[in-house]
Structure formats: structure tokens, C-alpha cells
């Protein structure tokens, strides 16, 4: 007999069917035993009139049961579960797999359990309804985004994971090359350069649900790898990009989280200066009522300063990344604009914007500098020597010499967005297999040592760790 999903049992009254899943819990009433059987779609009460058959069963065993679905008497209806109007009268039990007693309960919300233990046994933690629902929401949001942007003729294009160092402001993860001795790939901090090169390639509208890697010290709620919705367009105005994100977000919330309400539509657009003066923050919390868990206060912060002074390195750095276009309100010609850039680093603004929600930065982007001479000047202004610019970014400057359209884009942090939508305290709750706060994967036990043979092939020898005398 084929198995029926538990959520369909409400339509099967009087039918003999088979269900399969995990023993969620078991109540022994002596002669008769009740179990709640769980599959992905829900929980079903199963009655074993012959207690003998079910006596052995324990939580989390995987079983299949054949039996008849009956309507529950009025008094026995459980309004708390979708299948509360029915129950199964078990006829036949198949024990598929027994289970050890799990290291923690999976029928609670799990916040009370030590997080490291939950992450070590994440495959059990995922059985928890709350974690499952986070993954379902994540799927729905990504699915919505894919459809929304595809309808608008954006192409979803994958870009490499083995790539070259990108100037996104964090440390790169690097991968040693076996074939090209003493050289390394870098994992992308974002697909920034590839998406820009796709614009040079005439793609015009690109998006990707992209994995990004940043080797940062454990800082608050960060993950070494995270997921962005990455978008780039050719010939856009800044408002076109912001309007697109705004429309996508409004429609997404209405369709996927109808219980949520958005504080203000259109989303407020504050300049960086206004945000700092009024809220003393570049990611202001614009909610009207911070206790209301269903309020979403989206907004855009625009006109960021183009450069910031890095005291430790004694140099100017791009506030966002060096590909961002600096504003040129007086339309200075190229040479004069380069002079102006080199004189007024502290005050020049950028065509740069952040997307904020409830006090979090959930995205950011910019219109890009597509003039290769100005771009080169910006790299140099940031302290790169001309030779280094060629070595690091020569491919971009060269690409821009072959007819580059004006372009711009944005990236939205999917993990953070899902976290906010489901009122979760951390992005770890909405990632299937997150790293712990210290960067380790406690389930797979990584990072881990590799074989001597692997090291030899890569030509890697470790330096002795210097011990302090």
C-alpha cells in the first residue's frame, strides 16, 4: 500500500490507509496505547486497541502503520492540530527503524536547549517544528524571488566559487591549487566582479541566490558562509533598483507572510546624513511599535559617504567597495573629477544605498563606476600602487575598455531577512547547517586535519608555531 501524508488524513475518513513517520510521543493507557505519529506534513493520533502491538514503541522510532481513519467524537477533537478531527485505528504496525533516545527533545521550540548540542545533532534539531518552519519559509521566500525576478526577465546565472580575491572588505577564504603550485583560489566574498562582467557581457538583468564567504572573526551574528540575493542591472537609475526591491518585498510579504504589516509604503528613503542626525544610526529602526512582532519597517538609506579613513592602515577605503560610483553633482569632466576625488575624500558622497528593516541592514548596493580611468584613480586613492591595481583588477579595467554599459545592483542577505520574518534571534536558526559562533561545524567536525598525502600533493608544510619564551 502506498503511504498517505498525514495532512491528507482529514479527507480519508472511513478509508483504510497507510501512514509512515516518526513516533512523536506515546501515551500508555494500559489496555490501549495512543501514539502521535509525525511526518513532515503534520502529526496524527493513532490508537492501538491492542496495546501489545505498540508496547515496545519509543519516541523517534521510524514506523509505518496501516489502519482506518475515523472521525473523533466531538469531545475528543483537538483544536490545536490540523488533524485534530480524526484519528487512526491501527491494524498493522511495521517497525522500520528503532532509535536511540535523542540527546534532546524535538517536540519543544528548542530555545531552552544548549545551542552547541543542537548544532552537533542538527539533523535531529531539524525535526523540530520551528526549525522546519524556518526552512519552509526560506524555501518560499527564495521561490518567490526566483519567480518575481524571472517574470521581469532577469536571468539566474551561477558564478564560480573557486575564484580570485575580491575587495569586499573582509578576509578571503583561500583554497590551495594542486596543479598550480604556490597559488591559491579565493572563495568569493560576493559575486561582485562576475556580475559586473556579466553586464559587460550584455546580460543586462542578472540575479543569483549566491553563497558568499567571508573569513571574519566571530563577530555577533555572523556566519563564515551566508546567502545573498545578488542582483545587477544595466542602464538603471538608482531609483529603478530601489523600486524593484521595494515592489518585490511588498509582494513577497503579502503573499508569504500575510500576518505581517509594513509600517510605511512607499518605503522611506533617508540620506545617510539624515539617518545619522535623526537616529544616530545608518540602519535605523523605523518601527512605530517595537513590541509588535508583526511589524516590518523597511527603508533605504542613500547617499553614503564614498570613502572612510582607516586609522589602523592610515589610508582611505571605499565605504562600500571600490566599484561604487562616487557622485559628481557638478558633472566635472574626467580629469577634473579625478583631481576633485583626490582632494575631497572626506566629503564626497557615493551612489550607494543600504536596505534596512527593523534596525538591521538587510542589503546594500550601488551604481558602479564604469569609467576605467576613474576606477583606476579610486583604486590608487585607496592606497594601491599602479602595478598592484593591474595585478588585482587589471581584468576589470580591461573588460571596461571593451564597451561597458552603466550598471548597478544590490545584494540582500537572505538569512537575515528570514530571521526577521520569523522573529528568530539569530541567523543560525534559519540556516539548515550553520556553523557555531566560533566558526566550527560541530556536526561534521570541521575544520579538520587533512591527510599527509593531501598536504604533500599541495606542497604544503606547516611552520612550527612560535612559542613565547
d(C-alpha 82, C-alpha 170), whole Å: 47
- Closest distance to ligand ASP from the beta carbon of 368 (Å): 8
- Closest distance to ligand ASP from the beta carbon of 187 (Å): 13
Residues 6 or more apart whose CB falls under 8 angstroms from that of 5 comprise 19, 39, 40, 41, 42
| Vertex 169 angle, CA 312 and 202, to 5° | 150
Q: Give how far Cα 278 sits from Cα of 155, 271, 275, 321, Å.
A: 39, 10, 5, 26
User: How many CA atoms are closer than 13 Å to the CA of 36, on its beta-carbon side?
Assistant: 13
User: Is residue 413 a contact point for ligand ASP (CB under 6 A)?
Assistant: no
- Closest distance to ligand ASP from the beta carbon of 364 (Å): 5
SS (H, E, C) 225-271: EEEEEEEEEECCCHHHHHHHHHHHHHHHHHHHCCCCEECCCCCCEEE
Residue 105 or 157: the one with the smaller Cβ distance to ligand ASP is: 157
Residue 59 or 324: the one with the smaller Cβ distance to ligand ASP is: 324
- Closest distance to ligand ASP from the beta carbon of 461 (Å): 35
Burial class (CB within 10 angstroms; exposed 0-12, middle 13-18, buried 19+) of 170 = middle
Q: Which region among 5-13, 235-243, 405-413, 448-456 touches ligand ASP (by CB under 6 A)?
A: 405-413
Residue 81 or 348: the one with the smaller Cβ distance to ligand ASP is: 348
Helix (H) or strand (E) holding 200: helix 192-200
Spatial CA neighbour of 109 closest among 127, 84, 87, 85: 127
Site string for ligand ASP, 121-160 (x = CB under 6 A): ----------------------------------------
Q: Which of 9, 59, 163, 192 binds ligand ASP (CB under 6 A)?
A: 192
Q: Strands 205-213 and 155-156: what pairing?
A: parallel
Q: Which region among 110-118, 201-209, 275-283, 404-412 touches ligand ASP (by CB under 6 A)?
A: 404-412
User: Is residue 409 a contact point for ligand ASP (CB under 6 A)?
Assistant: yes
Q: Which region among 91-99, 125-133, 397-405, 409-417 touches ligand ASP (by CB under 6 A)?
A: 409-417
d(C-alpha 337, C-alpha 327), whole Å: 10
Residues 6 or more apart whose CB falls under 8 angstroms from that of 459 comprise 181, 182
- Closest distance to ligand ASP from the beta carbon of 190 (Å): 4
Q: Which residue's C-alpha cell is 513516533?
A: 23
- Closest distance to ligand ASP from the beta carbon of 321 (Å): 6
Site string for ligand ASP, 347-366 (x = CB under 6 A): -----------------xxx
- Closest distance to ligand ASP from the beta carbon of 367 (Å): 10
Q: Which of 45, 59, 190, 193 binds ligand ASP (CB under 6 A)?
A: 190
d(C-alpha 190, C-alpha 207), whole Å: 12
How big is the site for ligand ASP, counted in residues (CB under 6 A)? Answer: 9
Q: What nine digits make up the cell of 44?
A: 496524527
Spatial CA neighbour of 12 closest among 91, 50, 49, 67: 67
User: How many CA atoms are closer than 13 Å to the CA of 336, on its beta-carbon side?
Assistant: 6
Residue 106 or 399: the one with the smaller Cβ distance to ligand ASP is: 399
Q: Which of 411, 414, 421, 443 binds ligand ASP (CB under 6 A)?
A: 411
User: Is residue 196 a contact point for ligand ASP (CB under 6 A)?
Assistant: no
- Closest distance to ligand ASP from the beta carbon of 210 (Å): 9
Q: Which region among 51-59, 149-157, 173-181, 403-411 touches ligand ASP (by CB under 6 A)?
A: 403-411
Point out which residues bind ligand ASP (CB under 6 A).
168, 190, 192, 364-366, 409-411
Amino acid at each position: 500500500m502506498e503511504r498517505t501524508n498525514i495532512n491528507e488524513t482529514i479527507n480519508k475518513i472511513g478509508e483504510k490507509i497507510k501512514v509512515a513517520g516518526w513516533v512523536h510521543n506515546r501515551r500508555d493507557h494500559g489496555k490501549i496505547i495512543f501514539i502521535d505519529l509525525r511526518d513532515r506534513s503534520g502529526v496524527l493520533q493513532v490508537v492501538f486497541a491492542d496495546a501489545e502491538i505498540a508496547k515496545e514503541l519509543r519516541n523517534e522510532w521510524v514506523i509505518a502503520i496501516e489502519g482506518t481513519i475515523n472521525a473523533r467524537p466531538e469531545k475528543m477533537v483537538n483544536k490545536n492540530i490540523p488533524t485534530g478531527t480524526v484519528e487512526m485505528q491501527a491494524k498493522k504496525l511495521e517497525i522500520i527503524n528503532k532509535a536511540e533516545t535523542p540527546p534532546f527533545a524535538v517536540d519543544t521550540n528548542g530555545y531552552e536547549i544548549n545551542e552547541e548540542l543542537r548544532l552537533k545533532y542538527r539533523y535531529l534539531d531539524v525535526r523540530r517544528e520551528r526549525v522546519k518552519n524556518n526552512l519552509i519559509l526560506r524555501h518560499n521566500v527564495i521561490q518567490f524571488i526566483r519567480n518575481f525576478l524571472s517574470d521581469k526577465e532577469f536571468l539566474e546565472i551561477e558564478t564560480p566559487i573557486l575564484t580570485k580575491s575580491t575587495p569586499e572588505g573582509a578576509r578571503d577564504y583561500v583554497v590551495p591549487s594542486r596543479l598550480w603550485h604556490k597559488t591559491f583560489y579565493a572563495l568569493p566574498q560576493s559575486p561582485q566582479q562576475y556580475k559586473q562582467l556579466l553586464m559587460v557581457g550584455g546580460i543586462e538583468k542578472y540575479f543569483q541566490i549566491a553563497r558568499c564567504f567571508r573569513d571574519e572573526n566571530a563577530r555577533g551574528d555572523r556566519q563564515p558562509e551566508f546567502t545573498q540575493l545578488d542582483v545587477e542591472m544595466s542602464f538603471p537609475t538608482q531609483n529603478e533598483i530601489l523600486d524593484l526591491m521595494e515592489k518585490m518585498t511588498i509582494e513577497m510579504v503579502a503573499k508569504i507572510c500575510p500576518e505581517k504589516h509594513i509600517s510605511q509604503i512607499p518605503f522611506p528613503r533617508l540620506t545617510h546624513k539624515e539617518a545619522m542626525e535623526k537616529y544616530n544610526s545608518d540602519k535605523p529602526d523605523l518601527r512605530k511599535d517595537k513590541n509588535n512582532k508583526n511589524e516590518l519597517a523597511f527603508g533605504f538609506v542613500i547617499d553614503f559617504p564614498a570613502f572612510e579613513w582607516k586609522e589602523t592602515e592610515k589610508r582611505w577605503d571605499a565605504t562600500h567597495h571600490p566599484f561604487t560610483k562616487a557622485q559628481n553633482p557638478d558633472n566635472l569632466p574626467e580629469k577634473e573629477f579625478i583631481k576633485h576625488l583626490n582632494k575631497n575624500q572626506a566629503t564626497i558622497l557615493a551612489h550607494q544605498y543600504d536596505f534596512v528593516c527593523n534596525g538591521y541592514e538587510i542589503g546594500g548596493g550601488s551604481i558602479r563606476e564604469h569609467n576605467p580611468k576613474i576606477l583606476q584613480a579610486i583604486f590608487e586613492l585607496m592606497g594601491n600602487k599602479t602595478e598592484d591595481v593591474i595585478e588585482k583588477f587589471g581584468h576589470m579595467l580591461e573588460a571596461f575598455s571593451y564597451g561597458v554599459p552603466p550598471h548597478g545592483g544590490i545584494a540582500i542577505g537572505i538569512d537575515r531577512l528570514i530571521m526577521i520574518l520569523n522573529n528568530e534571534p539569530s541567523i543560525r536558526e534559519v540556516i539548515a547547517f550553520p556553523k557555531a559562533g566560533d566558526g566550527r561545524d560541530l556536526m561534521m567536525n570541521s575544520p579538520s586535519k587533512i591527510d599527509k598525502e593531501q598536504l604533500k600533493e599541495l606542497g604544503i608544510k606547516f611552520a612550527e608555531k612560535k612559542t613565547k619564551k
